[in-house]
Amino acid sequence: MMNKWTVALAATGVVGLASAVLAEESHPVNTLLPATTLSGYVDTSAIWNFGSGHNQAARFVNTGNDRQDGFNVDVVKLALEKPLDEGTWSAGYKTELWFGPDAGIMPGSLSGSDLAVKQAYVALRAPVGNGLDFKLGQFDPIIGYEVADAVGNPNFSRSFGFALEPLSHTGVLAAYQFSEVIGATAGVANTAFGKINAKAAGETIKSYMAGITVKAPESLGWLAGSSLYAGVVDGGGGFNGSGALASKKDSLNLYVGASVATPVKALSVGVGYDYLANGNGVGSYGNAISGYATYTLTEKLKANVREEYATSSGGYFGGGNDEKFFGSTVTLDYSLWANVVTRAEFRWDHAANGASAIFGTGAKRNDYSVALNVIYKF
């Protein structure tokens, strides 16, 4: 069980929740730093797409067109970490490496390679009040209900909202936990073009981000542990492919999400809303809302449901201008083997804009698929 401060920091973005879960299962490494731990996973899948053709609405690479109708090795992750301790001048670090086809889309990927530096940062704590924490380097984004690591999500496939969010940042992020109820983050990062350390040529424009979390205290009874989060990322300006300043219109991400306990102990619900402006040209927009429900059927079996609706004017989801999509996903998660996540998933996507279908030949506006996801964690 994670301690209450770890959960609070996870909500503010200083500690990724998926990373915190993995850290609970990580192992000491025999190095000069005995507090260093090794963890990771092997993520595999098999997907069958109903009917002819297998074009997909853009979500994430793990369910892209090339992953349909076959077996896949998605990604292998190795992580080394020395977490912050309770000391007033605490220091640590984290390095996460991705190997495999999923790695190629990450900002830290090597050109033409299935290797990526997903995270690489130094963590510092200064004795200011309850402790002011910093990350300096490459770190995960501070917004979003879902994360890049499939093991940290309720479903195997990603949401439409995930497709609108940044995948990482290179910069500095500060976080402060005012109490068990309220925490906040703020940071500045490079305005990058998909790679670590990438910057606009001759320009000093940066990306700015901030977030705030409100977490329900134990005194609220069955609502205890519920959280509300809001975050913003100002993308720092519109640039062309060569790095020259092309527009004063910044890309802008806005996110609001909540995770809520219910009076039914076995049931938890959540919601996430994403908005992206100027992400695919000046004046373009995309937005998506997702609702989540998890019901624990038995000690080993959970059912996760996601319902979502997304629109876009700039082809964010691969369907051209004026997109409208509905999505429905049902995932059964059965824990049979130790350290293994085993999930079966059914997903239906519907193109609702009345334009030409994107899911294949003819008037195919509906896409149905089933997937098996097996992940070993270590």
Which position has the higher pLDDT, 161 or 28?
A: 161
pTM of the model: 0.86
Residue 282's φ and ψ, nearest 5 degrees, are -60, 130
User: Where are the alpha helices (H) located in the chain, listed in sequence order?
Assistant: 4-12, 17-23, 160-163
Residue 230's φ and ψ, nearest 5 degrees, are -135, 135
For domain 4-377, give the CATH superfamily. Porin (2.40.160.10)
CB 232 within 8 A of CB 254: yes
- Give the per-residue pLDDT at 101: 95
| Average pLDDT, integer, range 173-183 | 96
Residue 64 is classified by DSSP as: S
Q: What are 192's strand-pairing partners?
A: none
Rounded CA separation 183/215 (Å) = 8
- Give the per-residue pLDDT at 337: 95
Least confident of 56-70, 75-89, 101-115, 284-298: 101-115
pLDDT averaged over every residue in the chain: 85
Closest residue by Cα to residue 98 from 107, 88, 90: 107
Residue 333 clears pLDDT 80, i.e. is over it: yes
- Percent of the chain residues past pLDDT 90, beyond the cut: 65
Please spell the DSSP secondary structure of 281-343, one letter per residue.
BTT-EEEEEEEEEEEE-SSSEEEEEEEEEEEESS-TTSS-SSEEEEEEEEEEEE--STTEEEE
Q: How confident is the model at residue 241 (pLDDT cuts 50, 70, 90)?
A: very low
Maximum Cα interatomic distance, the chain, rounded to a whole number of Å: 64
Residue 238 clears pLDDT 60, i.e. is over it: no
Residue 21 clears pLDDT 50, i.e. is over it: no
Residue 113 clears pLDDT 90, i.e. is over it: no
- Percent of the chain residues past pLDDT 70, beyond the cut: 82
- Give the per-residue pLDDT at 239: 41
- Give the per-residue pLDDT at 17: 46
* Residues present in the chain in total: 378
Q: How confident is the model at residue 245 (pLDDT cuts 50, 70, 90)?
A: very low
Which position has the higher pLDDT, 362 or 82?
A: 82
Instruction: Fill in the amino acid letter for 43.
Output: D
| Average pLDDT, integer, range 155-166 | 96
Closest residue by Cα to residue 171 from 134, 208, 137, 199: 137
pLDDT, tens only, 196-224: 777 765 566 788 999 999 999 988 999 99
- Give the per-residue pLDDT at 196: 75
- Give the per-residue pLDDT at 13: 46
Rounded CA separation 194/166 (Å) = 10
Closest residue by Cα to residue 102 from 73, 81, 124: 73
- Give the per-residue pLDDT at 107: 85
Instruction: Fill in the amino acid letter for 341.
Output: V
Q: How confident is the model at residue 177 (pLDDT cuts 50, 70, 90)?
A: very high
Q: What are 269's strand-pairing partners?
A: 260, 293
- Give the per-residue pLDDT at 243: 40
Residue 311 clears pLDDT 70, i.e. is over it: yes
Residue 284's φ and ψ, nearest 5 degrees, are -80, 160
Residue 191 clears pLDDT 70, i.e. is over it: yes
- Give the per-residue pLDDT at 51: 76
Rounded CA separation 357/359 (Å) = 6
Alpha-carbon dihedral of residues 247, 210, 269, 215, nearest 10 degrees? -170
